[in-house]
Structure 1
Amino acid sequence: MKKTSLKYFVALFMAFGSMAYAQTEKVKEDPKVIEQKKKAAAEEKAKLPKPYNPKADAQKDIEALIVQAKKENKNIMIQAGGNWCIWCLRFNQFVQTTPELKGIVDKNYVYYHLNYSPDNKNEKVFSQYGNPGEKFGYPVFIVLDKDGKMIHVQQSDVLEQDKGYSLEKTKEFFNQWAPKS
């Protein structure tokens, strides 16, 4: 009797799982849903500040940051991505509008938005850091010590939560790579 009940339960579970999967696939393929998501993302992107400058001389900027970091005894936080990347823009907005995070960043880092876009891929600069965007996607964070030595590369998805970022995980990341006194 137990074997029959177990088989029935497993068959029922698999049937419901298949139906749920089929429903999920329908939602993914529905052009109206896809179009609505694209429109919502475009509207959100339009409202967010655009911190990446495709015309910047990233190598020269980073060299100046190293001078500044030495003077201020701070590390350098490079947020690599582009104004095309909604997750890059969301992260920037999250840090800039969350006083607790902004305080940690301002105290411990000189911050730079390293552009990656069709206009300027900054290939030479990215190659110095092992091309982390190719491996992790964007945004990706490159942490340098005050002398410009790379000490960490952080993918961003581990900091995500829902359609944004986790305050606790982001605080932990920034505190972990702050300069040691």
Structure 2
Amino acid sequence: MKRIFILLAAVFISTAAFSQAKTEGVHIYNPDANALADLKAATEKAAKANKHVLVQVGGNWCSWCIAFHNLVETTPTLKQAIDDNYEFVLVNWDKDHHNDEAMKYLGFPNRFGYPVFVVLNGKGKVLHIENSAYLESEEIGENGKRKVGHDVKKTISFLKGWTVEAVNPETYKVKAK
């Protein structure tokens, strides 16, 4: 019994160490950034470019945040949907950097977990907070289990639904014949 306990403890410790090492070298988020200043700068830039701001709140510790970032970087249609319609901002949240002012400004999106997405208009108004769980894949892998990760189609649908054009009431007015 003692051997089993020692073996399990060793497996647990090595697994914890490995999972720490996997994300230790990842530096997608800048913990030292002035998140509120970054948000305001992106908002000004978005207003001039007739775009919205897409904010991804998360941290370098978050495997789902890193996976989403990698999905965007490796999926041209997804990257283009963001680049064409949004100023994209990463806001760090970790145990040492809560970015309280930015979280308040964004409507405390961290209540949904990480990553979480916030869409702001060119005036800095929060238009939408998206719980990333709604963007997860429902695809079943060969092993019979649900695949881990975000779904590209769901994500593009979310992004298209919050563009400047999509939320402009003029877009939906019936045109006179």
Residue 57 (1) aligns with residue 37 (2): no
Residue 124 (1) aligns with residue 109 (2): no
SS in 1 for 2:38: helix
Deviations 1:27-54 (A, max 9, x none): xxx767756764664465357x522111
Residue 163 (1) aligns with residue 148 (2): yes
How many residues are treated as equivalent by the alignment?
150
Counterpart-to-counterpart distance in 1, 2:134 and 2:16: 24
In structure 2, relative to structure 1, the CA distance for the partners of 1:100 and 1:38 (3 Å cut) is farther
Q: Which of residues 119, 128, 140 is equivalent to 2:116?
A: 140
Residue 114 (1) aligns with residue 91 (2): yes
SS in 1 for 2:134: helix
Q: Which has the higher helix share?
A: 1
Q: Note if contact 1:58-1:114 (Cα within 8 Å) is conserved in structure 2.
A: yes
Q: Note if contact 1:41-1:86 (Cα within 8 Å) is conserved in structure 2.
A: no
Q: Which of residues 59, 82, 96 is equivalent to 1:82?
A: 59
Deviations 1:118-159 (A, max 9, x none): 2311011101223121x2111111110111110000011111
SS in 2 for 1:164: coil
Q: Structure 1: 5+ residue runs without aligned partners?
A: 1-29
Residue 70 (1) aligns with residue 47 (2): yes
- CA-based RMSD of the aligned residues comes to 2.0
Counterpart-to-counterpart distance in 2, 1:78 and 1:85: 16
Counterpart-to-counterpart distance in 1, 2:14 and 2:135: 26
Counterpart-to-counterpart distance in 2, 1:69 and 1:130: 19
Q: Structure 2: 5+ residue runs without aligned partners?
A: 1-7, 138-146, 166-170, 172-177
1:102 maps to 79
User: 1:28-47, aligned counterparts within 5 Å?
Assistant: 38=16, 41-42=19-20, 44-45=22-23
Counterpart-to-counterpart distance in 1, 2:134 and 2:13: 27
Rg comparison, structure with higher value: 1
Identity, % of aligned positions: 36
Residue 149 (1) aligns with residue 149 (2): no
Q: Which stretches of structure 1, 4 residues or longer, exceed 2 Å deviation after superposition?
A: 30-47
